[in-house]
Amino acid sequence: MQILWAVSSVGKGHVIRDISIVEKLKKRSDIEIDWLAPDPAGVFLKERGYHVLEASAKLKGSGKVYHNIFKECKDVFNLTEYIKADTKLHQHDFEISESVWKGKKYDLLVGDEAFWLLSGFASNWGKKPAPFIFITDFIGTKTIKHHFSDRITTWINNLKFTYSHIGADLFVYIGYKEEIPDKRLGMFLPKGNQWAEKHCCFIKPIANFDPETIESKTELRKKLRLPLNSQIMIAQVGPEGQYKKRIGIIEKVFEQLRKEYPNTYFLMVCPEKGTKKWIHYHQYLDKLYRYFAASDFAIIQSGYGKIIELSALGIPFLAIPLDYHFEQEYIMKHRLKYYGTGKLLELRKHSPEKIASLAKEMMELHVQPIKVDNGCEMASIILNMKN
């Protein structure tokens, strides 16, 4: 079975879940996958021995636009501006992709938020060479700043999105329909949850591990050389924008929590080492979910992958979005409200003292883990499409 797999390169969350699916496919079928993956997803895949097509470097949109915007901004990230810039490049990137499949026969195309392919097929820029499965974890866009230009752009994008299902042979939503906001995508447009119910196939959130096989806290702490009898709090700060500002704020939050919990072991995963000697800083921790499972509480950036990992493990947490990033702010807030596993808060609205107070409230809660899949559901859907 020959598959062309295109993945958005906005962060590594998409490609990590795709790898989980692919590994399950390999166990059940003889498959060969060509990856259309711009960096950093492409680099991530190459380092792990996957076949990334050279054409990936010619793609101008996806993560390249995302990272270029971050070069020019601080911690304010208007995702609407990214979508506006990325959409202008869809036709170029579709043509690059088309040159790939013209030279090789594929049995299936899979796009994990590869919106340039969805736009191309929906707009009839080219003929589909094989059935196309589109995967996503959010429906529609949302303006946060309410600037007039943003509102117009958002409405136009959502109008186009309501017809995007015609570009895919199967539209898959990773998650539960109840987590999708019960709000209209815009004036005269349908509600996001109703649109999804009509056009999507739903599968459970994907984690790159099986929560049932995770060892106990004690066993994990022994393996990871963490203190056995102390409370452990972990924080994760991504490399986007002025991450030093976020590191400084979380250090202040930890200082407040240290007053209440003096024997706590504080751990932070961040791009640069901070200034507090009592915080254990790491630039990278392999299989970070094991450290989450060994901890009692977490503060993370509001990215999809980390939220699913913590929610699957039942670890209480606070999620901090990039300011004005509508997916991390608006969509994730609805998702967490449904999951009941963590709480989202915006840094611009909360002082370190307030964040510490919310953290103490969260630590008192009993969190029920959500049900997740490790890629098997999506692998079954792909194999059924072949048959």
DSSP one-letter code for 317: E
* Residue 8 confidence (pLDDT): 86
Look at residue 343 in the predicted model and tell me its pLDDT.
94
pLDDT of 322 reads 82
Predicted pLDDT of residue 186: 92
The conformational region for residue 226 under phi > 0 = left, psi -120 to 50 = alpha, else beta, is beta
- Spatial separation of the C-alpha atoms in residues 267 and 235, rounded to whole Å: 6
For residue 189, what is the DSSP state? S
* pLDDT of 66: 59
The per-residue pLDDT for 215 is 95
Residue 39's alpha-carbon distances to 45, 52, 108, 199, in angstroms, are 9, 10, 23, 30
47-68: buried (b, 16+ CB within 10 Å) or exposed (e) per residue?
A: eeebebbebbeebbbbbbbbbe
What the chain holds in terms of domains, given with CATH numbers, is 2-206+373-386 (3.40.50.2000), 211-363 (3.40.50.2000)
Average pLDDT of adjacent 10-residue blocks, the chain of 387 residues: 90 87 92 91 91 93 62 58 77 94 93 94 95 95 79 89 95 96 94 97 94 94 96 91 87 96 96 93 94 97 91 96 83 93 91 96 92 95 83
Whether the model pTM is above 0.85: yes
Residue 150: the pLDDT is: 80
Q: Which amino acid is at 202?
A: F
Q: Which of 173, 134, 175 is nearest to 312 (CA)?
A: 175
- Ranges of beta strands (E only) in 149-251 are 170-174, 200-203, 232-236
Residue 117 tokens read as 């392919």
**Residue at 221: amino acid letter:** R
The phi-psi region of residue 69 (left if phi > 0; otherwise alpha if psi is between -120 and 50; otherwise beta) is alpha
What pLDDT, on a 0 to 100 scale, did the predictor assign at position 247?
Answer: 93
Contacts 24+ apart (CB under 8 A), 282-291: 287/209, 288/236, 289/207, 289/208, 289/209, 289/214, 289/313, 290/214, 290/220, 290/223, 290/224, 291/224, 291/226, 291/234, 291/267
Q: What's residue 77's pLDDT?
A: 60
Name the CA dihedral angle for 272, 273, 279, 284, rounded to a multiple of 10 degrees.
50
**Separation between Cα atoms, residue 274 and residue 21, nearest integer Å:** 36
Eight-class DSSP state of 350:
-
pLDDT at 171: 97
